Amino acid sequence: MRLCRFNDNRLGVAESGSVLDVTAALDALPACRYPLPGWDLLIEHLDDVRARIEAIRPTASSLPLDRVTLRSPVANPGKIVAAPVNYQKHLDEVRADSQIHAHNPAHTITIQQAGVFLKANSSLVGAGDGVTLRKRDRRTDHEVELAFVIGRKASHVSSADALGYVAGYAIGLDISIRGSEDRSLRKSADSYTVLGPWLVTTADVPDPGNLDLEIAVNGQQRQKSNTKYLILGVPQLVELASSFYTLYPGDIILTGTPEGVSPIEPGDSITATIEHIGTMQVQVHG
C-alpha cells in the first residue's frame, strides 16, 4: 500500500495516477490529551488504520495525483536518524573534494567510525512542499537516499530481526549545506529533509537491499546507484541505532547517499526515483 498525506492533512492511498481520499480512516486512531506521545500515532496504529482503509475504500473519492500537494507521509516522527558516508564511492568523493569535506577530519572517517547522526524534526517536509534554500552564500547539495520508517518500538534489535521492525519505505532527500560544521546543523535547516512521495508498506518492497535509486536535476541525471552498495544496510542500521537509543513508531532513518552529490539552486526541479517506491518531483525555492 502506498500511503500518503496530502493537502490539508488528508490521508490518501496512491494508485496509478490518482489518490483515494481515505481520511475517515484516521478515526481508527485513539483520542489524545496533553502530553502527546513522543512518536507518530498513525504509524503506531498502522494495522488498525489499514483495516479501516480497506473497509471504506469502495466508497472513497478519487483525485488526480497531479492535483494534490504531497506532504511528508509521517507527520510526527519522534526523531530523524541519518547515516553518513554509507556508500564507498560517496566516501571517496567526500575525501577527494575539499568543497565537500571542508577540511573537517570528522567528515572523512568511515560510517563505522562516525556512527549515525540526528536531523532536526523541524527540517521535515513532503515532496509538494519543496526545498527552500538557506545560507545562499554556501554550497548546498542534493542527496538521494532510501528512507525507512520504524513500525514498532525497537531497542537492542539484532540485524537478523530488524526488518520486522520496519513499517515501510520512502524516498528521502538529505539536503546538505557544505562546510565545517557538524552534520546535524548543516542538514537540519527547515525543509532540508524531504520524505515522499508516500510510504510504501513493507509487503510491496521485496528487498530493501537491492533497489535502484537515482536523482536528476532539471532533467539531468546526477546520482544513480543501487542499495546493494550500502556499507550498512537497513538491518545493520536498525541494529546500530537501536543499540544506542530506543526507536519508536514513526522514527525515520535515512540510509545514506551514493556518489554524485552536486549543488542545487533556486528554480531547480529535482526528480528522485527509487525502484518499487516511485518518483517524486521537488521544487527548489530561493
Q: Which residues lie near Mn ion (CB under 5 A)?
A: 143, 174, 257
- To the nearest whole angstrom, how small is the minimum distance from the Cβ of residue 255 to Mn ion? 9
Pick the closer one to Mn ion by CB: 174 or 239: 174
Helices (H), ranges, the chain: 41-44, 46-56, 88-96, 98-101, 111-114, 183-186, 234-244
Pick the closer one to Mn ion by CB: 93 or 143: 143
CA angle in degrees (0–180, nearest 5) for 272-277-282: 30
- To the nearest whole angstrom, how small is the minimum distance from the Cβ of residue 178 to Mn ion? 12
| Residue whose C-alpha cell is 577540511 | 103
Pick the closer one to Mn ion by CB: 43 or 111: 111
CA atoms of 267 and 195, how far apart (whole Å): 20
Number of CB atoms found within 10 A of residue 192's CB: 25
- To the nearest whole angstrom, how small is the minimum distance from the Cβ of residue 256 to Mn ion? 6
Specify whether the CB–CB gap between 204 and 188 falls below 8 A. no
In terms of Cα–Cα distance, which of 260, 115, 97 is closest to 182? 115
The three grid cell numbers given for residue 209, joined into one nine-digit string: 537491499
- To the nearest whole angstrom, how small is the minimum distance from the Cβ of residue 81 to Mn ion? 11
- To the nearest whole angstrom, how small is the minimum distance from the Cβ of residue 145 to Mn ion? 6
Pick the closer one to Mn ion by CB: 46 or 127: 127
- To the nearest whole angstrom, how small is the minimum distance from the Cβ of residue 191 to Mn ion? 15
Pick the closer one to Mn ion by CB: 53 or 280: 280
Pick the closer one to Mn ion by CB: 37 or 263: 263
Q: Is 113 exposed, middle or buried (0-12, 13-18, 19+ CB in 10 A)?
A: exposed
Pick the closer one to Mn ion by CB: 143 or 251: 143
| Residue whose C-alpha cell is 524531504 | 194
| Residue whose C-alpha cell is 484516521 | 26
- To the nearest whole angstrom, how small is the minimum distance from the Cβ of residue 233 to Mn ion? 15
Q: Which residues contact 208 (CB under 8 A, 6 or more apart)?
A: 146, 148, 163, 166, 169, 227, 233, 234
Q: Which residue is nearest to Mn ion (CB)?
A: 174
CA atoms of 234 and 227, how far apart (whole Å): 9
